[in-house]
A and B are shown apart, each in its own frame.
Chain A
């Protein structure tokens, strides 16, 4: 039971990152490998606003989400859009996002140095006991903020003009263009929203995992895997995949062997994908926002 409880906050973080992968993938057809480093960037910006500028957790949270969203748009405008316009093959676009990831990581290393940094949590990390179970206010904060962001995303997709445009483009890009949807604009929105989701995940996880320049690689990969488990491009699937991965990791590490946690987790994943090639929650390959 305690293992499951430990997996929940981790799962929420993976779910946020999985969402950011899925959103970009469906809305603009790009597999964006720099998502993990948006997590790192969000965490570092949050750390900088809080520790150096002395802002509170709330303002830092919002500010770094906005700034990282701007970085996401910049990546789309300056790198991906020109590539698309020049008719680059999809694999080249994917490699370009990998380039963005490595560049971001090394710039972070130059700016913030190789040492891990500590981002102070606004709430206590001392445990609250419920019977034999232990959960910390920080874990609850992660869960609450992640759920809030997920609902906000749903609202945005269903109720706003930008969200409807995204869904239209996801359904049929060509038809959407004919209907007068500006796809450049919708791509930019997808990148901005995805990047800010990543940044939110980064700040939420920073008080428990510290901030390091290479944190994006691990979290990014896990988030991507979660997105694939849920069916890449399927929004509820990304959320389910995130929580599933978090719980699986926690249980595999605790019940079987801690040193082989990643081996066990990924072996189960391979078997799972073999049994259900289109992900846990989809019957057949389909994409939906």
Chain B
């Protein structure tokens, strides 16, 4: 009896100590008002440039907010993981950030297939995920309530391009020439849908395989069909070859493209033939907006490099998170998600963010740019 009593007493005391330690641990975490942000992106591998651009800009935004106390009494803590653009590695990285670093929100990923893999994990854990780099339209069509996107949905880009072709250029017949992969085919569908809504006729819908070198058969079909505008959806090497070969075959149509091919290399490889190509982008370093020049100057000074669109979007995403946690006053997943969803009134580098019910940012500026000389020239900004 005595032994039993002693054992009971011992167990109770262990439990009390345990609980109090647990509680003090819990309060210590929230008393500091810290929100932990995980960032996943390809910092090595084929799209390393994009992941590194995201990393640097996000770190810069966190430092600005913490040193300027811009999130009220909240501090931001940021954790980075490299996924090499690989969906499996991306899911593992997301798991690690959630389990080990106990992040409250995830920014990621850049490659659309990686983002889709991460969404399964964040959806299961019930924490918000914001992708600042993936444009694939399927991401926000999964019915996943935890996903938000601060990159420009390809759908908005396709709409903007088709509207411009119809309203400003007065085109009636267009052709699409798209890569035969996820990105290209989603683009082809979006362009066809937008053209139908606007009453434009798609007279020729051609595809090509990535790595193809000879596009003359497709170009001749487009020429025979009499298209006034040709919409490309793919990467820059193929786009440059296409415009060159189109010129060789005397195809005098206006060419259009989307942000996926916006790279300096496009202009270099395309030569004379690429001049005048119209493409949509979400960010150009040269701008007269104060918020943009502040970001660009700060970035150039710190990293000795020009920021890329993915960086600008990651930078904005951190500011959106800071604003949301300030309003929510909590890192509780539900409350924080609500605050994110009701984001409004911020003036950021790539737009005035406002999320629709699918999680897409409808307040993004879409920049219509054209290639002139050796750079992209902005000629129209679409603000929603």
Q: Which chain A residues have a beta carbon within 8 Å of chain B's beta carbons?
A: 2-3, 6, 10, 114-116, 118, 125-127, 129, 134, 136, 139, 208-210, 212, 214-215, 218, 249-250, 252-254, 258-259, 261-262
Contact = CB atoms under 8 A, between A and B. Distances in A.
Interface in B268-314: 268-269, 271
B237 A259 contact: no
Nearest to B222: A258
A218 B211 contact: yes
B132 to A, nearest CB: 24
A258 B269 contact: no
Contacts of B218: 253, 258
Given A116-B237, A218-B213, A125 B250 contact: no
26 contacts: A2-B220, A3-B220, A6-B217, A10-B214, A114-B46, A115-B265, A116-B237, A116-B240, A127-B247, A127-B248, A127-B249, A134-B249, A208-B245, A209-B213, A210-B240, A210-B269, A212-B237, A214-B211, A249-B214, A250-B216, A253-B214, A253-B216, A258-B206, A259-B206, A259-B207, A262-B209
Contacts of A215: 213
Interface string B243-266: 011011110000000000000010
Nearest to A262: B209
A212 B214 CA distance: 15
Nearest to A118: B269
B230 to A, nearest CB: 13
B221 interface: yes
B180 interface: yes
B241 interface: yes
A208 B244 contact: yes
Nearest 5 A/B pairs, CB to CB: A253-B217, A254-B217, A259-B207, A209-B213, A258-B218
Contact of A258 (B213, B221, B245): B221
Interface in B15-51: 46
A125 B244 CA distance: 8
A215 B220 CA distance: 24
Contacts of B271: 118
A2 B180 CA distance: 25
B217 A126 contact: no
Nearest to B270: A118
